[in-house]
Amino acid sequence: MRIIKFGLLVIVLILGIYAAVMYYFVEESNSFKVEKEINYPVEKVFPQFNRLQNFTRWNDYFSSSRTMRIEYYRPYEGKDAAISFKDEANDRSGELFIRYHNPERTLRMQVFEGKESNPTLIDIKFIRSGPQKTRIIWNIHTPKQKLFTRITNLWTEDEFTENLNRSMANLNGLLSNKVEKDELISSIKYDSLMVEQQEGQLLLGINVSSSGSKDALFRNIVLNHNKIYNFVLNDLDKRDDEFGYAVLITDADNFKDKDISYFLGIPLSKRVGISDNSFSFRTLNETLSYVIYYEGSYSGRVRAIQKLLQNAKTENVRHGDLQQVFLEIPETENNVRMKLILPVFR
């Protein structure tokens, strides 16, 4: 009996000492600042934070787990953009909101983790430190902890900094790839007809019918491109570097029709299981093709298409369906970059 009483007394003393240490030496919340610099201009860096679909691709907290599931909520970028996330394998869940943004200057985020009703506040400041450099300053304020859980504040800053180091490495790699892609696109020779051997591709996409009028057709393409793009990113959990440029396949001379049918798809490396019946796979075989790179308004592509068709007629060769490869995400009708491909058969 004495041993039990003594043991209880020791436990009470230990808990008392622990509580006293937590009360007097560990703050109930934690605030700290982390600064980093990246060798890219702020106009390229800021969109990687402000658009949450970009943010979750390089931020190690989200990108390091293949079991992380993320739901994105409109407006997707800027003030009031939000996500909810859940990773059952690593026992993580929560919500993230953008509460304030000043383009290319500041962002304020709130993160609710698990069942926590008080958020972690993250203020991010972007400072142009050179023509090709951006200094990024994080100010973090964690929620108040109960007395016996305050010990977690002792390693919160270390965990955040480690995650941030990995995330910045990911961001640097992502921006490096984007710069290489931009340089490649800028070096393209437009409006010149070439002959290329096109590799085969597996496309995941949708079959669409649309009005052939200028504005209606392009709006329809943008709508369906976003639908496929978000499905591949969110439902299939793919990243940008895991798939290629969107491809629109249609009859080569249907630009004269009032109604146009087309297939719009995104290349994948292999078939995957899909539960949405509106999506289907389509295989493009390796083939010799006439190619023209085009830049301008979407309606202006017609002249380049006619050039491809005229060359096929002059060479007396048969041709297949026209492939329109979007080298950039289609957003505005008057500014597109495309690779027009006409497969030919002798």
Per-residue pLDDT tens over the stretch 284-294: 999 999 999 99
**Residue 241 binned pLDDT confidence (cut-offs 50, 70, 90):** low
Q: What are the CA-CA distances from residue 70 to residues 47, 67, 85, 86, 164 (Å)?
A: 19, 10, 4, 7, 20
**Residue 151 binned pLDDT confidence (cut-offs 50, 70, 90):** very low
Amino acid (one-letter) located at 49? F
Determine what percent of the chain falls in helix, strand and coil, rounding each to the nearest 5: 35, 35, 25
Q: What is the mean pLDDT of residues 83-103?
A: 90
Taking alpha carbons only, the member of 306, 343, 293 closest to residue 322 is 343
E strands of 117-273, at which residues? 120-130, 133-141, 193-198, 201-211, 247-250, 259-268
CA-CA-CA-CA torsion for 284, 287, 289, 291, nearest 10 degrees? 50
Q: Are strands 201-211 and 106-113 parallel, antiparallel or unpaired?
A: unpaired
DSSP string for residues in 90-139: GTEEEEEEEEEEETTTEEEEEEEETT-SSPEEEEEEEEEEETTEEEEEEE
* Per-residue DSSP letter, 42: H
CATH 3.20.80.10 in the chain is located at: 193-345
Judge whether residue 23 has pLDDT over 60: no
For domain 193-345, give the CATH superfamily. Answer: Regulatory factor, effector binding domain (3.20.80.10)
Pairs from 169-174 (Cβ < 8 Å, separation ≥ 24): 170/57, 170/58, 170/59, 170/60, 170/63, 171/38, 171/45, 171/48, 171/58, 172/38, 172/39, 172/40, 173/58, 174/48, 174/57, 174/58, 174/240
d(C-alpha 293, C-alpha 327), whole Å: 10
d(C-alpha 196, C-alpha 288), whole Å: 6
For domain 27-185, give the CATH superfamily. Answer: START domain (3.30.530.20)
Q: What are the CA-CA distances from residue 108 to residues 53, 125, 196 (Å)?
A: 17, 9, 49
Judge whether residue 22 has pLDDT over 70: no
d(C-alpha 164, C-alpha 174), whole Å: 15
**Residue 150 binned pLDDT confidence (cut-offs 50, 70, 90):** very low
Q: What is the mean pLDDT of the chain?
A: 83
Judge whether residue 249 has pLDDT over 90: yes
8 Å CB contact between 145 and 120: no
CATH 3.30.530.20 in the chain is located at: 27-185
**Residue 7 binned pLDDT confidence (cut-offs 50, 70, 90):** low
